[in-house]
Structure 1
Amino acid sequence: MRFVCFTLMPYRPLDMAERRKHRSAWVVLPNDLYDPVKGADEYDSYMDQLVYAEELGFDAVAVNEHHQTAYGMMPAPNLIASALIQRTKRVKIAILGRALPLVNNPIALAEEFAMLDNMSRGRIIAGFVRGIGTEYHATGINPAFSHEKFQEAHDLIVAAWTRPGPFSFESENYNYRYVNLWPRPYQTPHPPIWIPSQGSSETIRWAADPERRYPFLVTFSAHDLVARYLTMYRDQARELGYEASGDQLGWAAPIYVADTDEQALAEAREGIETLFNEYLSNPWEMMLPPGYTSLESTKRTMKLRAALGGRPGRMTAEALIESGTALIGSPRTVREKIQRMRDQTGLNNLVSMLQFGVLPDHLAKRNMEMFAAEVMPHLRG
């Protein structure tokens, strides 16, 4: 099993009383609530955590992309990756979430990844996403075209990485007379591509295609949904004529380990509840702007909204643990929950979020140490 240490880099000094006066921590939250001095300290802390993950034996560290939000201070994750390259030697660096439809020039993104891959001597993992609905409010890009822009940008980037240039590329959204990438990627044929998602059936079918076979990561989902979507990926692969390997299946979840279940719950409560209730919470109209999802997905979402009475209530740490959305407990408890999912799905990739919400540095560091010492070794084989 491969273990990835992931952070969102949330802005922890956020005044929560002020935050609650606004409908979201995304897009509409006034940026005068951000203190650059405190923010600089936050970047230092998060970078130190990711560098420490290499010392603890993680296979990879991961960052991602979000815009105009206190939820994650990484609008340019390639910059974070560049800094990590200079401070690490062995660990893979996964950029799990470049939102391709938000990019005006995919060749520039292909160039950036190729540079990073050379600078790290082949330690880069590329993660491609459409970006959640709020990103389209933040950038002013029409979400109705996100699917086609994602696929066309992906095709252009992979072609730029792999085809001898110069060549021309024409699609509905991107037209280039000359595609001739300098530098080329260090890895052959190109950096691995992973696809994080919350379970879109369209995304599963696309990632599982035999021409791609991209690792698919289920994020922020209850245990039953994780098992369902990873099984859906396996079933889709079988329909397409091959058997998906465990290396194509992954799970991303917040995790907290302490000596006992009770201690873990007490220490993780504020962090996990602020993550879901303050940082992640968005009204439906911001999460799912018109055109962002297919008609089928929109109908499913409307049914869910009706079942929840129009808007979900506040989530408790107990409820998040019970659903399996968060893995919080003693080393034995956390190991058993991961192993149970592994037995159900055969997954080989676990993306562990060991700092979340307002969880302070000293607890995040101890959590990383306990997870690395008392969970990872039992699941390596």
Structure 2
Amino acid sequence: MKILNFSLMPYRPLDIPASKDYRSVWVNLPNRFFDPEKGAAEYEAYIDLLAGSEELGFDGVCVNEHHQTAYGLMPAPNLIASALIQRTKRIKIAILGRALPLVNNPMTIAEEFSMLDCMSRGRIIAGFVRGIGAEYHSSLINPTESHSRFHEAHDLIIRAWTETGPFDWRGEHYELKYANPWPRPYQQPHPPVWVPSQGSLETIEWAADPKRKYPFLVTFSARDTVIKNLLAYRQQARDFGYEAEPGQLGWAAPVYVAETDEQAIDEARAGMEALFNDYLNLTPEMLLPPGYSSMASMKKLMEAKRAIGRSGFGKGTGRQSIERLIDQGTAIVGSPKTVLEKIRAVQSETGLGNFVAMLQFGTLGNEPAWRNQRLFASEVLPALKAL
């Protein structure tokens, strides 16, 4: 297995009680809640945490993109990736992912990723996503165009990476007379593309297509949902006439390790419950704007969200306890033995080959995050790599 370390880079100094006067920490929470001095310290601490992953033996680190939210401070994840390139020499840097429909010119993403790939000498993993529903409120992009914008942007970027330019592009959403990106990517024919998702039927079929065979990464989902979606990808691959490799299957989850199960629960409680109750408090219209998902995928997403409780369903469903999150398998918390067993159990059922551990989450502070990262690396990571 390949093991990567992921941080959302949440804004931990957030005045959570005061933020409750607003519908969510997404989209319309006034930016006066952000203190630039504290924000600068947050960036420094998070980059230190991720850069430290190399000497601890991780295969890679992950960053991602979100806008106008305290949930994650990376509206431009390519900038964080650039900083990590300078702080590391070996590990992969996965940008999971860039929200393709939100850009007006996909060539900028093709060029930025090519730059990063050259700067890192081929260590970039490109994660492509549509962006969650809230991003469409922030950007005023029509959510009914989400799928078509994503697919056209993806096709344009892949062609720009693999075909000598300039060439002419006349699409439904994008029009270019000279598609001719400088520089070209270091990895040939292009950086690997991963697809993070919560299990959209369309996404599984698209990612598993023999023309792509993109690694599919299930995020923020209960254990049973993770297994169901990864097996659905395997079956889709079989329907296409091939057997999916372990490297095409991945799972991302928040993890906390301590000497005992009881200690781990106690130390992780505040940070984990803040993540799922305070930072993920998306109201239904923010999570699923009209036209964003097909009816089948919407039902599936709502089932997955219901499994982790309040997230995505407003403020009336009550707070989630860490005990329930652990019981559902949405969070992995415990002693090294317990954590290893929980990950192994899913790996044995699905054959997944990539595990992304979120070792800092919610309001978890720097010291416990470092302890968690070091203990995971020393007691869990070696056994997982051997699977």
TM tier relative to shorter chain: over 0.9
Alignment-mate amino acid for residue 279 of structure 1? Y
Deviations 1:190-218 (A, max 9, x none): 00000000110110000000000000000
Supply the distance in 2 between the matched residues of 1:304 and 1:353 (Cα, whole angstroms).
Answer: 19
Task: Count matched residues.
Answer: 381
Look up the SS of the partner of 2:178 in the other structure.
Answer: strand
2:273 is equivalent to residue 268 of structure 1: no
1:312 shift after superposition: 3.3
Question: Against the structure 1 CA distance between its residues 303 and 7, is the aligned structure 2 distance closer, same or farther, given a 3 Å change threshold?
Answer: closer
Q: Does 1:151 align with 2:151?
A: yes
1:86 maps to 86
**1:69 equivalent in structure 2:** 69
Residue of structure 2 equivalent to 1:318 = 323
Which residue identity is paired with 2:105?
N
- CA, structure 1 residues 118+300, in 2 after alignment: closer, same or farther (shift >3 Å)? closer
Residue in 2 aligned with 1:286?
286
Secondary structure of 2:52 counterpart: helix
What is the match of residue 36 of structure 1? 36
Q: Give the whole-Å Cα distance in 1 for the aligned partners of 2:163 and 2:118.
A: 17
Where does residue 369 of structure 1 map in the other structure?
374
| Partner Cα separation in structure 2 for residue 336 and residue 306 of structure 1 | 25
Partner of 2:211: 211
Give unpaired runs (5+ residues) of structure 1: none
Number of the residue aligned with 1:246: 246
* Counterpart Cα distance in 2 of 1:24 and 1:306: 18
Deviation of 1:248 (Å): 0.2
- Kindly indicate whether residue 99 of structure 2 is the aligned counterpart of residue 99 of structure 1: yes
- Distance (Å, rounded) in 1 between the aligned partners of 2:328 and 2:225: 10
Within the alignment, does 1:378 sit opposite 2:383 as a pair?
yes
The one-character-per-residue Cα deviations of 1:167-190 (angstroms, maximum 9, x if unpaired) are 112221112121112111000110
Deviation at 1:306, TM superposition (A): 9.7
Q: Partner residue of 2:199?
A: 199
Distance 2:12 2:303 in 1: 34
Deviation at 1:296, TM superposition (A): 2.4
> Cα offset for 1:260?
0.2
Q: Deviations over 1:138-173 (max 9, x none)?
A: 111111000000000000000000001111122211
User: Partner amino acid for 2:357?
Assistant: S
The Cα of 1:301 is off from its aligned counterpart by 5.8
In 1, Cα distance between equivalents of 2:41 and 2:9:
11
Distance of 2:377 and 2:267 partners within structure 1: 18
- What per-residue deviation string (whole Å, max 9, x for no partner) do you get for residues 110-150 of structure 1? 00000000011000000000000000011111110000000
Percentage of identical aligned residues: 64
TM-score, structure 1 normalization: 0.97
Amino acid at match of 1:134: A
DSSP 3-state at the match of 1:172? coil
The offset of 1:300, in angstroms, is: 5.1
Paired letter, 2:355: L
What amino acid maps onto 1:107 in structure 2? M
Q: Does 1:233 align with 2:238?
A: no
Establish whether residue 344 from structure 1 lines up as the match of residue 343 from structure 2.
no
Give the alignment of 1:350-361 within 5 angstroms: 350-361=355-366
Shift of 1:282: 0.8
The answer on 1:334 being equivalent to 2:334 is no
Q: CA RMSD in A?
A: 1.6
Equivalence for 2:124: 124
Q: CA deviation at 1:16?
A: 1.1
The secondary structure found in structure 2 opposite 1:156 is: helix
Per-residue deviation, 1:304 = 8.3
> Which whole-Å deviations, capped at 9, do the CAs of 1:65-98 have from their partners, x for residues lacking one?
0000000000000011111111111111100010
TM-score, L = length of structure 2: 0.96
